[in-house]
Amino acid sequence: MRNLVCLQRVQWQEKCGESDGNKMVIKGRLAIREIDPYRCTGCGVCVQSCMNDVIRMKRGKAVIVYQEDCGACFACEMDCPREAISFGFVSES
């Protein structure tokens, strides 16, 4: 189990931050990270609930168009009936 935790921490450091002793320094900001196209049914609820117009419908599925405008309010994630939306740390552009 310890090796798994260490591996996860190394992967976290490579993707999201740096280790400073026992502290993690996070690079980036919290925002919408992914809409799973296999779970998305194209209902459009997330598009309606997004206050910052981050999500749009394309080819019958919800897609992230303006990720940099995401205010991390989690409205789209909470309203999605299929739990297709995930949030996470994204790098600053």
Q: Provide the pLDDT for residue 61.
A: 98
Confidence of residue 88 (pLDDT cuts 50, 70, 90): very high
pLDDT in tens, 5-51: 444 454 555 555 555 566 666 678 999 999 999 999 999 999 999 99
pLDDT in tens, 55-79: 999 999 999 999 999 999 999 999 9
Of 64, 68, 70, 89, nearest to 14 by C-alpha is 89
Q: Provide the pLDDT for residue 7.
A: 43
- The domain locations on the chain are 2-90
Buried b / exposed e along 45-65 (16+ C-beta atoms within 10 A) = bbbebbeeebbeeeeebbebe
CATH code given to domain 2-90: 3.30.70.20
CB distance 66 to 14 below 8 Å:
no
